[in-house]
Amino acid sequence: MPDYIYGEGSIEINAGRSVVTMTVRNTGDRAVQIGSHYHFFEANRALSFDRERAYGRRLDIPAGTAVRIEAGDSHRVDLVEYGGGMRVVGFAGLVNGGLRSEQTHRNAVARMAEQGFQNVRDATVKVRKPKSAKTELEVPKAARAAAKRPAAKKAAGKAAPKAAGKAAPKAAPKAAAKTAGRAAPKRTAAARTSKGAVTAKAPSRSSRTRTTKKGKS
């Protein structure tokens, strides 16, 4: 026999679907068993219940399981609406079409009456709002913590560029000011040196005049 390893937590089935609760009575002389995905509207004709309220619905139980109703017994059942393409084919042959079609619905009800399926109005039928859309496993604390780690890393990655961006503008002006302060004196010194060189090379008018006078004399 193979070994099975079961995970922690539980799985919510048929989430997000409305639930109809009704009483079913077996009027026959033998037990009737209905599977999880059988179209309940078309269940054994000896079962007496509000079939029109069960149209387009199946038992709200895990797949592969069933409900058994002994002869003469009554049973309270929960029914959920079908999912998928909402098309029903087979079973007792009452529908064989799309559940959203009004004409298909009328034809199915007519066939049900013609073929002697037990049908009674049930004032005790209860309709509950759709279940919550939670379909995930109830994850253990360790797994939840592990799942949060990537999110924390992403948050850190987003925060780092912002911090760097804030620091950069503050550092840039200081560096620029220091560089400018060092460069300025050098340019001034160079300018002074060049002026001094020009002054030394270019003689004044007075010196030219003296030289000329000496030459003439």
Of the residues 60, 94, 128, which one is the last residue of a structural domain?
Answer: 128
How far, in Å, are 9, 59, 197 from residue 203 at the CA level? 103, 117, 11
Looking at the structure, tell me whether residues 88 and 23 fall in a common domain. yes
pLDDT at 19: 96
pLDDT at 21: 97
Looking at the structure, tell me whether residues 111 and 147 fall in a common domain. no
pLDDT at 148: 57
pLDDT at 198: 45
Is residue 1 in a domain?
no
* Domain region containing 64: 19-128
Looking at the structure, tell me whether residues 124 and 25 fall in a common domain. yes
Looking at the structure, tell me whether residues 77 and 164 fall in a common domain. no
pLDDT, tens digit only, all 217 positions of the chain: 678 888 888 888 898 899 999 999 999 999 999 999 999 999 999 999 999 999 999 999 999 999 999 999 999 999 999 999 999 999 999 999 999 999 999 999 999 999 999 999 999 999 998 855 443 334 444 544 555 565 555 555 565 555 555 555 555 555 555 555 555 455 544 444 444 444 444 555 554 545 444 444 4
pLDDT at 193: 45
Is residue 136 in a domain?
no
Is residue 9 in a domain?
no
Looking at the structure, tell me whether residues 121 and 155 fall in a common domain. no
pLDDT at 171: 52
Most distant CA pair in the chain, distance: 161
Alpha helices by DSSP H, 25-120: 102-114
Looking at the structure, tell me whether residues 70 and 156 fall in a common domain. no
Pairing of β 47-48 and β 19-26: antiparallel
Looking at the structure, tell me whether residues 71 and 150 fall in a common domain. no
Q: For 27-53, b where at least 16 C-beta lie within 10 A, e where not — what string? A: ebeeebebeeebbbbbbbbbbbbbbeb
Looking at the structure, tell me whether residues 105 and 28 fall in a common domain. yes
- Burial zone of 139 (CB within 10 Å; 0-12 exposed, 13-18 middle, 19+ buried): middle
What's the number of domains the chain is made of?
Answer: 2
pLDDT at 87: 95
pLDDT at 152: 56
CATH number of the domain bearing residue 103? 2.10.150.10
Here the contacts of 176-179 (C-beta below 8 Å, separation 24 or greater) are none
